[in-house]
Amino acid sequence: MAEVEAIVHVPADRVWAVLSDGWLYSGWVVGATHIREVDSGWPGVGSKIHHSVGSWPLTIEDTTEVTEVEPGRVLQLLARAWPAGDAVVRVELTALGPDRTRVVMKEQARSGPGKLVPQPLRDLLLVRRNRESLARLTALATGREG
């Protein structure tokens, strides 16, 4: 499983505000390029973001679904981009004080061609991508009104 961590200098509720706004998904998830629809219950279990992945005109339209949520603390997703496959992504927030939050992102390919890539290489690629995703998530949370 690929795992990355960052300490961000904003309260956990500001990071959660970004995660819980499905329309911001393509702003922090590397590869997601367009949000077509967000289910009204987002981020409730079973709710989905309908998104596009890739560069126009070669985009894939698919969904990401919430599989577990602890508001303010945990968001677990099943991210799909068929025919490439799907992955389980888990984001965990831990408040380290009033203005510091540990953000941990874990990702594991679940199915599709991504599972054929040897685990060490797959993790190397995912770690690089997810470091950038955490940097984008941090920027969005930092820029939000307090």
Mapping DSSP onto H, E and C, the string for the chain reads: CEEEEEEECCCHHHHHHHHCCHHHHHHHCCCEEEEEEECCCCCCCCCEEEEEEEECCEEEEEEEEEEEEECCCEEEEEEECCCCCEEEEEEEEEEEECCEEEEEEEEEEEECHHHHCCHHHHHHHHHHHHHHHHHHHHHHHHHCCC
Tell me what pLDDT residue 145 has: 66
State what percent of residues in the chain have pLDDT above 70.
99
Tell me what pLDDT residue 118 has: 85
Highest mean pLDDT among 49-58, 74-83, 92-101, 113-122: 92-101
Q: Using 50, 70 and 90 to split pLDDT, how confident is the model at 114?
A: confident
Q: Whole domain around residue 60: which residue ranges?
A: 2-143
Question: In the predicted model, is pLDDT for residue 59 greater than 90?
Answer: no
Mean pLDDT in the chain? Answer: 93
Is there a contact between 50 and 36 (Cβ–Cβ < 8 Å)? yes
Tell me what pLDDT residue 146 has: 57
CATH assignment of the domain containing 109: 3.30.530.20
The domain tally of the chain equals 1
